[in-house]
Amino acid sequence: MAKAEKNELMEKLFSLCKRRGFIFQSSEIYGGITSCWDYGPLGVELKRHVKDLWWQENITGREDVVGMDASILMHPKVWEASGHVENFHDPLIDCKKCRARFREDKALHYFKCEKCDFHFRVNGGLIEVKDEFRTFFKDDLYANEPESYKKSDCPKCGTAGSIFLEKIACPTCGAAELSPARQFNLMFKTHFGPSEDTASEVYLRPETAQGIFVNFDNVVNTTRLKLPFGIGQIGKAFRNEITTGNFIFRSREFEQMELEYFVKPDESQKWHEYWVEQRFQWYQKLGVKRENLRLRAHAKEELAHYARACTDVEYKFPFGWSELEGIADRQTFDLDSHIKASGKKMSYFETETNTHIVPAVVESSAGVDRSILTVLSDAYWEDTEHDRIVLKLDPKLAPIKVAILPLVNKDGMPEIAMAIFSDVKKQMAAFYDQTGSIGRRYRRQDEAGTPFGVTVDSQTLEDGTVTLRDRDSLEQIRIPKDNVANILREKLHE
RNA sequence: GCGGGUGUAGUUCAAUGGCAGAACACCAGCUUCCCAAGCUGGUCACGGGAGUUCGAUUCUCCUCACCCGCUCCA
């Protein structure tokens, strides 16, 4: 697909979302605010269904997982222990020559020994040495940070602490004319209580996961869960991203669905594979087409230092393949950090061996808003044969399940349709519409993703049946008007 | 945050230094027996703020938002 077409599809989705009341820009009457979005009447229903399906699949539908709902504001020490205060920022550098902007550790770092002729370059974590020095670096071609080479011992002449950073240069144009690195902490700060001094600073959580880790002991002590077990949570998180965009794909306020699954440390790899598969299947249960989904395992140098493995679920968005969810084997890093920082035990007592162990954790971290964008993109269909736009949402996700329509506005049809509507709406989201021609009303519902239409016509007056229209196939069948709710309920559970 | 682009009705687009138009959508009525039909009537817009000017939607500046790229991630 050409780039212009991709952009066009995003624009069409954006327009449809606004036109039909799925998603609006936040604070629109004041000119809007960057990357904040409001879910309208149809959008909030869609979002609720996505979250409910996640909760059902991962919490209530399982014996080994419980849910919780932690507060957004937490003790500042949580974020010190988790590493977010120290690490959750991007030092960025601008190239004065070619105007490229990049992360400090992506710059070309030139190192040199101050005693001998040994020198090398670090390029994006990869050490590049001249052939004559190749022998001095054998298995160590990947490094964590260029910083780690400073003041290290020279591998050639052996002088202690003789390696120094000669210069850093732009990875794009190679020029060494760079601006100083600037720090951007990605956590939102606010003040706890009325006084705005430094002591009262707290953060809005940048992820929901920490609310689970700090409650590990509370949950273990109150639920009698046995390893392996999980704790899940859905909630808002906030990140002061440098760059936002692609509609609701990346915003500064967003909602996460996170599951922390605690396992015996030597079993984490097995459970990581298990959850990757589970989560990959889940998106397909939302009706997302298999060919638009893929898994991507992180390469070794991409991994955070504490993670043993991480696999992303990616979706083929109109703007390209992008991450929907990450499933990571975080080992015991999170619990260890909080045990160390808080001085509390937070272990699990294994009765078989009579020992306390700190479990490893496999984390599934999914974005609610990204899931919404995924199901909307995936469902968007221009039916050129019938000249209509259809959201082919899975009926489970559809904001409105059925539209109840009198074929024409006379002969008592509106009254019969209204009576059916009154009955059906007690059991599912239904919509009554008697305005305009029947075709126009069907098309309105097609754009809203409503899977079924029930129409009262003259035959209804004779034999008490109504037509049931299928959104995708346009097929119509006749069903008894007094049994509409039951038949629809069966169809929705198919 | 930096560079580029775009802002006119609910949507998609016109025009204009001097009363801002269309199509579709929406609302009311008529009509209509199955897929955006027709007729009549109606509601609704120059992103915001300064400046130039007798007069600015139009020109200038600032600002805000969206899109693309850098970057990052749920």
DSSP H/E element including A462: helix A458-463
Nucleic chain B contacts, protein chain A, residues 368-407, CB cut-off 7 A? 369-370, 386-389, 407
Residues 6+ apart with CB under 8 A from A111: A119, A120, A121, A122, A146, A149, A150, A163, A164, A165, A166
Q: What is the pLDDT of residues A41-58, one digit of tens each?
A: 999 999 999 999 999 999
Mean pLDDT across the stretch A463-479? 95
DSSP H/E element including A280: helix A268-285
Ranked by mean pLDDT, which of A59-73, A87-101, A166-180 comes out on top?
A59-73
**Closest residue to B47 measured CA to C1′:** A31
Residues 6+ apart with CB under 8 A from A407: A413, A438, A455, A456, A457, A458
Confidence check: pLDDT of A254 > 70: yes
Residue A445: what are its φ and ψ, rounded to 5°? -70, -30
Mean pLDDT across the stretch A473-492? 94
Nearest nucleotide relative to A476: CA against C1': B34
pLDDT at residue number A414: 93
Q: With bands split at pLDDT 50, 70 and 90, how would you rate the model's confidence at A131? A: confident
Mean pLDDT across the stretch A396-407? 95
The structure tokens listed for A422 are 């009154």
Q: What is the 3-state secondary structure (H, E, C) of A356-390?
A: EECCEEEEEEEEHHHHHHHHHHHHEEEECCCCEEE
Q: Label the pairing between strands A253-263 and A380-383.
A: unpaired
pLDDT at residue number A7: 65
Nucleic chain B contacts, protein chain A, residues 289-328, CB cut-off 7 A? 312, 319, 322-326
Instruction: List the single range of A132-146, A349-363, A369-383, A463-477 with lowest mean pLDDT.
Output: A132-146
Estimate in Å the CA A19 to C1' B25 gap, whole number.
9
Instruction: List the single range of A46-50, A104-108, A221-225 with lowest mean pLDDT.
Output: A104-108
pLDDT at residue number A145: 63
Q: What is the pLDDT of residues A284-313, one digit of tens each?
A: 999 999 999 999 888 876 777 778 899 999
| Strand B–CB A221 distance below 7 A | no
Nearest nucleotide relative to A8: CA against C1': B67
| Strand B–CB A345 distance below 7 A | no
Ranked by mean pLDDT, which of A12-26, A151-165, A446-460 comes out on top?
A446-460
Nucleic chain B contacts, protein chain A, residues 72-131, CB cut-off 7 A? 90, 92, 94, 99-103, 106
d(CA A259, CA A488): 33
Residues 6+ apart with CB under 8 A from A95: A101, A102, A170, A172, A173, A175, A177, A178, A179
pLDDT at residue number A158: 82
pLDDT at residue number A151: 79
Sheet holding A402-406, edge to edge: A430-432, A402-406, A452-456, A465-470, A476-480
Estimate in Å the CA A80 to C1' B63 gap, whole number.
37
Confidence check: pLDDT of A138 > 60: no
Estimate in Å the CA A19 to C1' B11 gap, whole number.
7
DSSP SS3 for A252: coil
Mean pLDDT across the stretch A120-127? 73
The structure tokens listed for A150 are 């400073």
Q: With bands split at pLDDT 50, 70 and 90, how would you rate the model's confidence at A1? A: very low
Q: What is the pLDDT of residues A410-443, one digit of tens each?
A: 889 999 999 999 999 999 999 999 988 999 999 9
pLDDT at residue number A2: 39
Mean pLDDT across the stretch A11-16? 88
Estimate in Å the CA A100 to C1' B5 gap, whole number.
19
pLDDT-above-70 percentage for chain A: 89
| Strand B–CB A27 distance below 7 A | no
Nearest nucleotide relative to A253: CA against C1': B74
| Strand B–CB A457 distance below 7 A | yes
The structure tokens listed for A77 are 């020490």
At which residue do the structure tokens 């993109």 appear? Answer: A377
Per the confidence metrics, is the pTM higher than 0.90? no
Q: How far is CA A196 from CA A84, A191, A200, A201, in A?
A: 22, 6, 6, 8
pLDDT at residue number A35: 84
Confidence check: pLDDT of A4 > 60: no
Q: With bands split at pLDDT 50, 70 and 90, how would you rate the model's confidence at A192? A: confident
pLDDT at residue number A331: 93
Estimate in Å the CA A46 to C1' B21 gap, whole number.
38
Q: What is the pLDDT of residues A360-380, one digit of tens each?
A: 999 999 999 999 999 999 999
d(CA A135, CA A381): 58
pLDDT at residue number A211: 96
pLDDT at residue number A191: 84
Query: How confident is the prediction for chain A on average, in pLDDT?
Result: 87
**Looking at chain A, how many residues does it have?**
494
Q: What is the pLDDT of residues A141-191, one digit of tens each?
A: 444 566 667 777 887 888 888 888 888 887 777 777 777 666 666 788 888
Nucleotides of B under 7 A from a protein CB: 1-3, 7, 10-12, 25-28, 30-38, 47-48, 64-74
d(CA A52, CA A475): 30
